[in-house]
Structure 1
């Protein structure tokens, strides 16, 4: 009887051990399977992100190509035609050179054409700034800011503490940052009521930092709302395309501030 009881205990212990091993094996199998599914999902997400970035890059490159084409057409075709029209008007000689009507007509026509030529030149520059490709981001920004300062709409001050980094950016990165600053300046002029904006370029250990701020009315909205209301979705797309990040800081009456971090090493330059 004692032997039978001992055997029963042994069978119970063996059964419990077997059950424990089965449960442990099941748990390990489940964990392994979950890890495999997680890694697979991460690979899919990474592949999707890469695909989205490639698609975004293709869209941006296509936009820049079209901007360049339209800008060249405006400058070459429309600008040349207007310049020719101005020469024709200058060649026009009225019979009575003292006729105030004809003299005023020539003067006003030439003034109007000069204004249109200037506008076409500015539009062509905004669409595809040639300075950006020839002289780099710093020169292109200075040229754009000179136009804004001369217009009297906004006073813009630029401080460059980036050393040679700003002048050695690859063209796609320089173009993206130029468009971002262009968008920020346009938003400041149109929406903020600011009289002054400042742009600071810095070279830190992580690459290029750009600090943009104005003295406008600021906004008391969440960042997700700002994207829709101020066109920051376009800014985010361009920064994503060059692996850059940004941080917005704004409060009512405290102006609008954006800090851009663009990871660039000396090897990139």
Structure 2
């Protein structure tokens, strides 16, 4: 095995080799995206939609929709002519099935390149692992990106050809170092197999070998160097080599720790291995048409789930064996914990749960995990570190849970106080005002006073009526209880009417959905209602805005809220410092419902607040 001195040498070597992937341009280029959910847009359609402003401008140079059934169009406008091959448009990641690249001039689109994992590697415009397209001409470039029915993590940026190839050289150097280490470990395993004739070393070789093939295929190097003329296998390599190491890891585990004697557990391992083998065969039998079927999507969801289940079972066995004093199990446990971390990161990245990861760990993390596992088997110290990490993580989860509970209590107390005030206004003050209006009306109608007094009584009756209406509207605005009586949509309209009546601001309200009040969604209505009320209150008090747009949308799985004003605005990065503006309370309500909130600057002035709250059913 590798010694600690050799490990230190490797760390120093990596520190000198690893550099940022690409030097980005000084000015931020503008990219536009359009999601074609129908998958039927032609190039002419896409060009027309771009000219009509239907494409969405991206805020950064990446987009992560996760699993998608759509085709995406990427637009980039090149401002000037450049020398040939001086500038490239990089489109990632390495596993896009199809890319049709067009150059648009005078509304006519010319197809420049067709490439992707469904075509031989030699069809790449630039002989490199990634997708790079020359953009030397002045004009509009369109890329049709097809990874439908799969997970898509998209990045795009202009880069010079020299920088792109230099960066890939650095990346391949890192992978070459890792590959050399894996080959040394495999050769060492073959040596032990030859001298001991024990099958444990065969399972070890297959486990390390297939796992490393997954790393190479995930980095795009497998397609470039191992199967460049086999596009039928390019899209299958990652799922195949993601499953195979699970099979061999269990076979290696059984022989390595030597304490797995339970017939039930052995039956579970055997049955699961058969299922995994069936999955590999099914993946190999899929053709290009089959990639668009629901089964292909189900397999992609199944792989991370079965991987997680397998890891849980293996870790459980290792923990039990470690408690019983099995030293090999302790070493194996320490090594596999590293792989668990990397696997969870990869699963989260594929599902779209994480917007971005560091370049090194997203590209080489699992490879490093495989190398480190062999080293950890001889050291055994990482086990304590990982146990400490798990305990710290558990404590952090508990602290977050208590904080959420305290936040929920504060919100409930606030809502209770508002309800009490609103009920007093509605039931007591409202009733007294209604009685006063009735008495004034009766006095005027009986004709027992002169004409002048009658005129004053009429004006008093009108004033009492206006005050009564204002009290009723104010009670509706304050009390979430009124939501059940008048509905969410009407309640918001009353709030907007009250604020508009001040004459300080003009508010336009747009509600989509909310046709009827659903009791099961009461807490969401209450939270949205309170958030809108607090946002409008902040705008009136602090922003100096004259116009406000409030848009609330009810979807099947979430609620969306957008509030846009033309006030003085505020830098979004400073939002965390503005606790006095009620932002903290709004954040707490959004966080308590597992929602997301974003603050963006409005043009030419003002602020845009966007909130999305998922509808979570069957909550514990």
TM-score grouping bracket, smaller chain normalisation? 0.7 to 0.9
Normalising by structure 1, report the TM-score.
0.74
SS where residue 409 of structure 2 aligns?
Answer: helix
Q: Give deviations 1:51-103, integer Å, cap 9, x for gaps.
A: 121222122223223322321222111111222233334455797614x4x44
Q: Give the distance between the partners of 1:152 and 1:171, measured in 2 at CA.
A: 32
Q: Give deviations 1:23-72, integer Å, cap 9, x for gaps.
A: x899633x322222221121111112111212221222232233223212
CA positional deviation for 1:115: 3.5
1:261 aligns with 2:604: no
Q: Give the distance between the partners of 2:456 and 2:429, measured in 1 at CA.
A: 22
Task: Tell me the residue number matched to 2:493.
Answer: 142
SS where residue 380 of structure 2 aligns?
Answer: helix
Distance 1:90 1:110, change over 3 A: same
CA positional deviation for 1:156: 2.4
CA positional deviation for 1:232: 0.6
SS where residue 384 of structure 2 aligns?
Answer: helix
SS where residue 423 of structure 2 aligns?
Answer: helix
Task: Tell me the residue number matched to 2:450.
Answer: 97
Q: Give the distance between the partners of 2:408 and 2:517, measured in 1 at CA.
A: 22
1:236 aligns with 2:587: yes
Distance 1:90 1:265, change over 3 A: closer
Answer yes or no: is the 8 Å Cα contact 1:216–1:253 preserved in 2.
no
Q: Give deviations 1:161-211, integer Å, cap 9, x for gaps.
A: 5x5699657111111111111111122222222222112345679733322
> Which of 409, 413, 422 in structure 2 is aligned with 1:58?
409
- Counterparts of 1:28-67 in structure 2 under 5 Å? 28-29=380-381, 31-67=382-418
Q: Give the distance between the partners of 1:155 and 1:194, measured in 2 at CA.
A: 9
SS where residue 170 of structure 1 aligns?
Answer: helix
Q: Higher mean Cα deviation, 174-183 or 193-202?
A: 193-202
Q: Give the distance between the partners of 2:407 and 2:395, measured in 1 at CA.
A: 18
Distance 1:156 1:247, change over 3 A: same
Q: Give the distance between the partners of 1:165 and 1:110, measured in 2 at CA.
A: 36
1:71 aligns with 2:443: no
SS where residue 224 of structure 1 aligns?
Answer: helix
Q: Higher mean Cα deviation, 212-221 or 103-112?
A: 103-112
CA positional deviation for 1:224: 1.6
Answer yes or no: is the 8 Å Cα contact 2:561–2:612 preserved in 1.
yes
Task: Tell me the residue number matched to 2:56.
Answer: none
Higher-RCO chain (CA-CA 8 Å, sequence separation at least 6)? 1
- Which has the larger helix fraction? 1
SS where residue 258 of structure 1 aligns?
Answer: strand
Answer yes or no: is the 8 Å Cα contact 2:566–2:602 preserved in 1.
no
Q: Give the distance between the partners of 2:554 and 2:456, measured in 1 at CA.
A: 55
Normalising by structure 2, report the TM-score.
0.35
Task: Tell me the residue number matched to 2:507.
Answer: 156
The answer for unaligned runs of 5 or more in structure 1 is 1-23
Answer yes or no: is the 8 Å Cα contact 1:192–1:216 preserved in 2.
yes
Q: Give deviations 1:114-160, integer Å, cap 9, x for gaps.
A: 33322321221111145522464333223322443455433222334
1:225 aligns with 2:577: yes
> Which of 123, 126, 129 in structure 1 is aligned with 2:477?
126
Q: Give the distance between the partners of 2:425 and 2:556, measured in 1 at CA.
A: 42
Task: Tell me the residue number matched to 1:117.
Answer: 468
Answer yes or no: is the 8 Å Cα contact 2:480–2:529 preserved in 1.
no
Q: Give the distance between the partners of 1:166 and 1:53, measured in 2 at CA.
A: 30
User: How many residues are aligned here?
Assistant: 242
Q: Give the distance between the partners of 1:41 and 1:165, measured in 2 at CA.
A: 47
Answer yes or no: is the 8 Å Cα contact 1:220–1:252 preserved in 2.
no
SS where residue 44 of structure 1 aligns?
Answer: helix
SS where residue 118 of structure 1 aligns?
Answer: helix
Q: Higher mean Cα deviation, 249-258 or 209-218?
A: 249-258
CA positional deviation for 1:245: 1.5
Task: Tell me the residue number matched to 1:85.
Answer: 436
Q: Give the distance between the partners of 1:88 and 1:133, measured in 2 at CA.
A: 31
The answer for unaligned runs of 5 or more in structure 2 is 1-375
CA positional deviation for 1:256: 0.9
